[in-house]
Structure formats: structure tokens, C-alpha cells
Amino acid sequence: MSTTTFEIRVRIDQLERLLMFDYEPGTEGALFDICDAEGRILKTGDVHGPVTRVRITDLRGDEFYLMVLDGERSAIQPFQLSRVA
């Protein structure tokens, strides 16, 4: 089984405290995880393309990873809450 990787664009709406990422899922079962720097899963959910919005009011810290799994495709995108535009 081969895995195809891809990149996703991440941005933060500081006023609404939302993380948004651009990705059009290729399967109905596409999922995302937000993990902390130690790899603990903090949030998980379904990908709703073309833009998925995730409430981040309960995230503590600054360094996180967004992981998207879409069939045989996957991506890991590091982000910092203070630096994402």
C-alpha cells in the first residue's frame, strides 16, 4: 500500500478563534487530527472541503500539528498559533 502525501494551507482567525485549512477531500471518510508537540491528539473530526473550520478556544500552548488522512493520502502540517496568518 503506497501513501501519497500532499500539502494543506493552514490559517487562524484570531477574532473567532478558528483554525481553517484548505483541502478538498477525495474520500467521504477524510479525517483530521490536531496534535500537540508530544504527539497527543487534542482534537479530531471530519474534513469538510474545500475549507474545514475547527474551533480552537480550548487549545493551550503554541506549537501543534495538523494531520489529515484521506484514504491512502496523508499530510502533517506543523503550525504555531502565534505565527499562522
Break the chain into its structural domains and give their ranges.
Answer: 4-80
Task: Compute the distance between CA of residue 3 and CA of residue 9 in angstroms, rounded to an integer.
Answer: 20
In eight-state DSSP terms, residue 25 is -
pLDDT at 50 over 70: yes
Task: Compute the distance between CA of residue 23 and CA of residue 5 in angstroms, rounded to an integer.
Answer: 13
CATH level 3 topology of 4-80:
Immunoglobulin-like (2.60.40)
Q: What percent of the chain has pLDDT over 90?
A: 68
pTM for the structure as a whole: 0.85
More reliable by pLDDT, 79 or 84: 79
Task: Compute the distance between CA of residue 1 and CA of residue 18 in angstroms, rounded to an integer.
Answer: 34
